[in-house]
Chains A and B, each alone.
Chain A
Amino acid sequence: MAVATKTLLEVAGLHVHLGESHILQGLDFAVPEGGVTALLGRNGAGKTTTIKAILGLAGRSGSIRFDGQDLVTMKTHAIVQLGIGYVPEDREVFAGLTVAENLKLAERDAEPRYELVYQVFPELKQRAAQRAGSLSGGQQQMLALGRALLNRNRLVLVDEPTKGLSPLMVASATEALARVAEASTVLLVEQNLQVARHLAQGVVVLDQGRVVHAGEVAGLLADDALARRYLAVGVEGGH
């Protein structure tokens, strides 16, 4: 008997305009509670804009419901306070602050999980007094993921966590994401199909601002033509 899965995030008729461009053209998809849902698509398909629209970092219209609550009228900080973490594309750590200050700034819970953060990324503890701007790209990604691990989020939005990382750091980031997913639902934007295949159970594929496929990752993997058409990679050769 199939187990009924509760929907945590439901997006319906989501539109985003940036200047003259109509970036998202009526997105409809749902993210079930628990596990990882991958948001895939070619460059410019609207993945990052979708994440920003959910967080209120991009002007949007339509419906975005998180555990039944409408997010469209809410401000970004109030949305995050509902228990939504964010790991942005390009890390966006605060370069002028130290590693410790970056983590302190991200504290929302009464008891932030520093032990977990330092267990997953011991290097962050060693570099606590170092300015984040002087960290390598991989170390900055550790910090960005560490901020998401620090609080008990119900949903974590992760935008291209392996972009620009060395193979070793990709493995480390993937492991950290698996730890995040143990406690939170994850909506993962990822260009690296291997990472998405390893972590995700569900998948939503975007193309030119529209959802063109939604279902289980296994379904996408079984359809090489679909992957080639919308991701520009074959499932066997996806990097």
Chain B
Amino acid sequence: MRVLNFAHGTFLTVGAYASWSIATALPGLSETARFAVAVGGCLLVGAVVAAAVEIGLIRPLYNRHVEQVLVTVGFALALTALVQGSYGADPKPYPSPARTQGVVSLAGATIPSSRLLAIAVAVAVFLAIAAFLRFTRWGLIVRAGVENRPMVSALGIDVQRAFTLVFAIGGLAAALGGALGAVYFGNVAPDRGTQTLIYAFIVVVIGGLGSFTGSALAALAVGLLQQFANYYSSVYLHFSAAGDLAVVLLLATVLLIRPQGLLGKGT
């Protein structure tokens, strides 16, 4: 879509806090029902906020990348400050369902249930978005619009609506990530979205701009590399922050060897 959206991380923050607000406001329900309603509500909030950002901030700025960066960075800072002002700067404990707090033994490894939940949902979201892009008319419009937006309009299609839909889906997915992140970390925090955004940009650049599958592969590579680097460096080098260093080195290597990313088409 050729949009540099630095506000995407705030969709995650908004989703996390929407989920927290709904979950803590529904004490009468069972844990699972409360979590389900909270996740459903945060998806709606994430989609609406993202669509509003596209319509209000991004739409007048298509093809103006510097302005996009300035506006979306400003929006992200303002929204993070608003969340801090409303909920406080400290993390708030998240009322996760008990069944997500257990552990599962798998092939000799003990894995927290929250990790398995995140992996399962990520795979489901990947398959759902891939199916949307591959099999629906809206998906066809989005794929064509990314390639040549004016020509899609010249076929009589309101491509702006399609791009708003893409933002809404992106906001929905980010909000879902916020809720799952809250379960994973056990809390919600105002700056989690902006922290996560850095990795999201690295993943997108490594995967290749415009490549959905490339981003998925890059996310897997970055996550595994970071965790393995952290583990082995702490065991053998007594240095626990090698994961971030390894990720940045991977980014630099990809940019030097294949600047268009793993599955990007280049320019």
A residues contacting B by CB (< 8 A) are 55, 57, 75-78, 80-81, 86, 88, 92, 94-97, 101, 104-106, 108, 147
Which of B140, B143, B144, B156 has the largest count of A CB atoms less than 10 A from its CB? B156
Judge whether A92 and B153 touch: CB under 8 Å: no
Is B23 an interface residue when CB atoms closer than 8 A count as contact? no
Contacts of B90 in A (CB 8 A): none
Q: How far is the CA of A75 from the CA of B150 in the complex (A)?
A: 11
Judge whether B144 and A97 touch: CB under 8 Å: yes
Task: Report which of A80, A96, A101, A104 forms a contact with B156, defined as CB distance below 8 A.
Answer: A80
Q: How far is the CA of A76 from the CA of B265 in the complex (A)?
A: 28
Determine how close the nearest CB of chain B comes to the CB of A167; give it in whole angstroms: 28
Is B107 an interface residue when CB atoms closer than 8 A count as contact? no
Number of interface residues of B (CB under 8 A): 18
- A75 and B151 in contact (CB under 8 A), knowing A104-B140, A105-B141? no
Judge whether A76 and B148 touch: CB under 8 Å: no
Judge whether B154 and A94 touch: CB under 8 Å: no
Q: How far is the CA of A86 from the CA of B155 in the complex (A)?
A: 7
Contacts of A105 in B (CB 8 A): 140-141, 144, 152, 155, 157
Q: How far is the CA of A105 from the CA of B150 in the complex (A)?
A: 14
Q: How far is the CA of A174 from the CA of B72 in the complex (A)?
A: 50
Q: Give 5 A-B pairs besides A57-B153, A97-B140 with Cβ atoms closer than 8 angstroms.
A: A77-B159, A80-B153, A94-B144, A105-B144, A108-B155
Judge whether B156 and A92 touch: CB under 8 Å: no
Judge whether A57 and B150 touch: CB under 8 Å: yes
- A108 and B156 in contact (CB under 8 A), knowing A88-B151, A92-B151? yes
Sample 22 A-B pairs with CB under 8 A, ordered by A number. Answer: A57-B150, A75-B158, A77-B154, A77-B157, A77-B158, A80-B155, A81-B156, A86-B155, A88-B154, A92-B148, A92-B151, A94-B143, A94-B147, A94-B151, A96-B265, A97-B143, A97-B144, A101-B140, A104-B140, A105-B144, A105-B157, A108-B155
Contacts of A75 in B (CB 8 A): 153, 158
- A106 and B147 in contact (CB under 8 A), knowing A97-B140, A101-B140? no
Judge whether A55 and B154 touch: CB under 8 Å: yes
Provide the B127-168 mask, 1 if CB < 8 A to any CB of A, else 0.
000000000010011011001101111111111000000000
Determine how close the nearest CB of chain A comes to the CB of B152; give it in whole angstroms: 7
Determine how close the nearest CB of chain A comes to the CB of B54; give it in whole angstroms: 17
Q: How far is the CA of A96 from the CA of B265 in the complex (A)?
A: 10
Determine how close the nearest CB of chain A comes to the CB of B213; give it in whole angstroms: 13
- A76 and B144 in contact (CB under 8 A), knowing A81-B156, A105-B155, A105-B157? no
Task: Report which of B137, B141, B154, B158 forms a contact with A57, defined as CB distance below 8 A.
Answer: B154
Determine how close the nearest CB of chain B comes to the CB of A87; give it in whole angstroms: 10
Determine how close the nearest CB of chain B comes to the CB of A140; give it in whole angstroms: 13
Q: How far is the CA of A94 from the CA of B154 in the complex (A)?
A: 13
Contacts of A97 in B (CB 8 A): 140, 143-144, 147
Determine how close the nearest CB of chain A comes to the CB of B254; give it in whole angstroms: 22
Contacts of B140 in A (CB 8 A): 97, 101, 104-105
With both beta carbons as reference points, the residue of chain A lying nearest to B158 in the complex is identified as A77
Judge whether A96 and B143 touch: CB under 8 Å: yes
Q: How far is the CA of A86 from the CA of B153 in the complex (A)?
A: 11
- A76 and B150 in contact (CB under 8 A), knowing A105-B155, A147-B155? yes
Judge whether A106 and B155 touch: CB under 8 Å: yes
Contacts of A101 in B (CB 8 A): 140, 144
- A96 and B157 in contact (CB under 8 A), knowing A104-B140, A105-B152? no
Q: How far is the CA of A76 from the CA of B152 in the complex (A)?
A: 9
Determine how close the nearest CB of chain A comes to the CB of B146; give it in whole angstroms: 8
Determine how close the nearest CB of chain A comes to the CB of B164; give it in whole angstroms: 14
Q: How far is the CA of A80 from the CA of B155 in the complex (A)?
A: 7
